[in-house]
Amino acid sequence: MIEQRKYNKKERDNFNRTGLSHLWWELFDSRDSVGSAFRFMEREPVLILDDILKEHQYYIPIIELGYTSKPYSDLLGLPTQSPYRVGKGVRLRVTNASKRMFLVENLIIRGVKRIAVSDKYVEFDTDNYLRNPKLYIR
């Protein structure tokens, strides 16, 4: 079983808010690796989400997945070409329909072309090399 990540204040201060105004890098970490999002996550999806929150003074949604390390990805059963493995995907837990719609609208405005929506989450990635642009409704 993957152990929950643990932080100390010095680690947080080193990487937590660099380049962000509303989010923290630790929110996107792989559960088994402290600081992994800051080191390995692509900046684009995080900056897009941070920009949405900054522009609209929106609440910070629960981030279910960001960057995932190989062991954690294997544990979750993610495919080898998953955008989470390379730090280009983000899954947000959003159970309110109007908030989901708000996020989808703002992601499209900012040029995101791969979005998945279900009754519990909004998922997007900026990995435009593997697949064609799509909107998934699950």
**Rounded Cα gap, residues 89 and 3, in angstroms:** 22
Q: Are 52 and 106 in contact (CB under 8 A)?
A: yes
| Domain span at 46 | 9-137
**pLDDT, position 51:** 94
**pLDDT, position 35:** 86
Residues 6+ apart with CB under 8 A from 50: 20, 21, 22, 23
Structure pTM?
Answer: 0.85
Domain total in the chain: 1
CATH number at residue 96: 3.30.1380
Give percent of the chain with pLDDT exceeding 70: 88
- pLDDT band, very low/low/confident/very high, at 15 (cuts 50, 70, 90): low
Q: What is the pLDDT of residues 78-126, one digit of tens each?
A: 999 999 999 999 999 999 999 999 999 999 999 999 999 999 999 999 9
